[in-house]
Amino acid sequence: MKSAQRPAQLPAPLAGFVGRVDEIVSARHILTANEEGRGTPIVAIDGPPGVGKTALALRCADEIIRSDPDAFPDGQLYADLKGYSESGTVARPDDVLDEFLVALGVPVQDVPAGTERRAKMYRSLLSSRRVLVVLDNAASSEQVEPLLPGVAGCAVVLTSRRRLGGLAMKVGVERVSLSHLTERESVEILDTVIGSARTSADAKAVAALTELCGRLPLALRLAADRVAAHPHHSISELVDELKTERNRLDGLASHDSVTVRSAFELSYCDLRDDEARTFRFLSLHPGPHASVASAAALVGRPVMKTQQLLQWLHEVHLLEGVPGSRYRFHDLLRLYAAERLESDEEEGDRTAAVGRLADWYLHTTTAGARTLAPFRRSILELPDADQEISPLRFEDEQAALQWFDSEAAHFVRVIRLAMDHGFHTTAWKLAVSLYDYFCLLRKPGSIWLAITAVALEAARTTGDRFAEGWLETFTAEGYRWQRQYERSQHHFERSLTLRRQIEDLHGQAWTLVGMSFLAVDRERWDQAYAYAQEAMPLFDGLDDHDGSASVLLTLADCHRGRLQYDQALRTLDRAMEIFEEVHDYDGRGRALTKIARVHTAQGRHESALACLERALKTRRKAGTHGGEADCLYRRGCVLQRLGHRGGAIASWEAALSLYVQLGDARAAEVRSRIDRAKFASGRTGESRPPDGAPERGFAGSHESPAIVAALCGVGIPHLRNEICRAS
């Protein structure tokens, strides 16, 4: 056997390497710690194709060698295991060990046959040496295991597109999972390749280019190379080309290097049939992420089976995990999956998948709406769900509300997707099923108007006047929230005309109620009263108690507007009884808020404050963000009238946060009130109490319990307990 040799097999690190500072620091510490009693330190770098795993491994190894030559004085071994390569031939551990043994000084004729014997000789040779081993592009844990040293003096860096969980179960592995770069790091790559003079001159285009590349290192370098190769072309020209999704993967390529598409191709071709099919069909989901159940509907598989498939796609970094058992694509991987879907699946199969997804959303939102508002008389008739989909069911309002919140960003896109594939009836019904969530509980006006616009298009396409009438009413409500009163009136009138033509009495009643709400907003009391009086017998005849209670709210507003306060309170008491009977928490909150307004008009501010506290608690229980904001705003107004400017500001600021979140037009008005109150506070020298605490102390306050509770943000029973403790 030859004397010991010092191999130096590492390839040169990538020129112009950028970022990953924390990952390098962590990996270097693990590899060079030499902690007594530990086995061989192993750092496993995993991540999606094109994310820079090999570049990071080689940069880390290079920094260790240059900064600390004594860390691994006996050399470095390197092998490309070809887990994902164009040849499709994965490196055999037997062959890699042959190369390693020769590099360590074993004569070729002395290398034993068989993987196990070679692995034993390999470990024996390394037992007295300190060598850094870099295993690049591993295919599996089984491929890597024979190549690991058996002593602590050596260290291993390995890369793979898989997470290699089997390896971690047998030996100590520190995992480094890579994702896309930060925006700053992405710009730095472009600066390095293109030149800072050109990137600085067109910063806006550079920022757009980083996003179009998904901040993926491979894509960024390919894009930068294209720009650098054509100094007479602007960066904006490439941005314009890549903006078209169909051109993007073609644009992220060069003639003499790995392209983004080819990098993805290697991972895709390694998938089994069911995995590849799931990968393709998931590209149809229009949202930023997909739940397991919605993905199961898309692929037409049982939920449990789909979960296993998604987990595997996540393991091989073709999908990213999202909290809440959800998954998403990297932007460029989504484009690649969509390409494969179009080339590998028949149009009829793609359309059927969209139909399953839309039906799953329709049946799930309908179930959620019934859970949120069981008192609501449904206008939708749905056939039984197809056996290939498994709609969700909800144990309680909180579970339903949580699901709606998690899916809020998807609904417009799903409705549009259904429309584009010819499922017009499903599209408008899905919009109708969302009414209680968006209109009563969350009220994000711009999103709701986007939903109704697409759904109206669907209803008109099919000539469904019943659907069109409801959606005209819902559109009018959206404009009413945004205080676009003329547009709201226009849509209400169109709805009423349609409903009278088709004799839809239930629809007429709700349109009339909406028109009465609008008239109240405009303080047109006689008009509001007339609409409400016309709606009441319709609801009574249909035995719709929720509708009747809503009419009573409007009649009470009319009485208040006419200064008929006692009659307003009696009317609101009747509405409260109905809302309590049908367990409508939001309705109770609305009634309590209106009772508070009557008390305020009467100058009974402490009674108003007590009602608003009850209303706030009730609307929070219902999950009504718009209603909660309204209560907080009115509570601030009452506190201001009572001279508690600090508490008023705190309440308005809480309301403002919700109004901004909802895109409510009242945000500007509330912000103006806060600014005026703060200006007055500064001018008079009044200081705002910390955290909304009352100005005159707590236990010694002479204010009523309602005022102190409002200022402290607690309920009255809790306040009384605290006072007892303080006393």
Tens digit of each residue's pLDDT (9 = 90 or more) over 559-597: 999 999 999 999 999 999 999 998 888 899 999 999 999
- Could you list the beta-strand ranges (E) of 104-219: 132-138, 155-160, 174-177
CA dist 607 and 598 (Å) reads: 10
List the one residue out of 199, 196, 183 whose CA is nearest residue 239: 199
Q: What is the pLDDT of residues 304-332, one digit of tens each?
A: 999 999 999 999 999 999 888 899 999 99
What is the share, in percent, of the chain residues with pLDDT greater than 70?
Answer: 92
CA angle 354/359/363 to nearest 5° reads 155
Q: What is the pLDDT of residues 589-638, one digit of tens each?
A: 999 999 999 999 999 999 999 999 999 999 998 888 888 999 999 999 99
Q: Cβ neighbours of residue 125 under 8 Å, at least 6 residues apart?
A: 101, 104, 105, 106
- Statement: residue 462 has pLDDT above 60: yes
CA distances from 64 to 53, 69, 132, 157, 240 (A): 17, 7, 10, 12, 42
Assigned token pair, 698 = 């707590």
CB-CB neighbours of 695 under 10 Å = 16
Question: Who wins on pLDDT, 722 or 208?
Answer: 208
pLDDT for position 216: 94
- Statement: residue 716 has pLDDT above 60: no
pLDDT for position 443: 65
pLDDT for position 168: 81
pLDDT for position 44: 95
CA distances from 144 to 100, 130, 131, 171 (A): 13, 19, 17, 11
pLDDT for position 695: 33
Segments in 389-484 forming alpha helices (H): 397-407, 411-420, 424-433, 435, 445-462, 465-481
pLDDT for position 1: 44
The SS3 of residue 163 is coil
pTM (global) more than 0.95: no
How confident is the model over 450-477, as a mean pLDDT? Answer: 95
pLDDT for position 719: 36
CA dist 57 and 61 (Å) reads: 6
Assigned token pair, 690 = 């910390």
- Statement: residue 4 has pLDDT above 90: no
Confidence of residue 718 (pLDDT cuts 50, 70, 90): very low
Sign of CA dihedral 408, 413, 417, 420: positive
CA dist 18 and 217 (Å) reads: 9
Q: What is the pLDDT of residues 667-685, one digit of tens each?
A: 889 999 999 988 887 655 4
pLDDT for position 444: 65
pLDDT for position 685: 46
- Statement: residue 211 has pLDDT above 60: yes
pLDDT for position 150: 86
How confident is the model over 149-154, as a mean pLDDT? Answer: 88
List the one residue out of 60, 62, 101 whose CA is nearest residue 79: 101
pLDDT for position 700: 30
CA dist 223 and 192 (Å) reads: 12
pLDDT for position 482: 86
Phi (first) and psi of residue 117, to 5 degrees: -65, -40
CA dist 432 and 382 (Å) reads: 12
Q: What is the pLDDT of residues 499-545, one digit of tens each?
A: 999 999 999 999 999 999 999 999 999 999 999 999 999 999 999 99
The SS3 of residue 513 is helix
What is the share, in percent, of the chain residues with pLDDT greater than 90?
Answer: 72
CB-CB neighbours of 431 under 10 Å = 28
pLDDT for position 481: 86
CA distances from 284 to 255, 315, 337, 517 (A): 31, 21, 9, 40
pLDDT for position 699: 29
Give the chain's mean pLDDT: 89
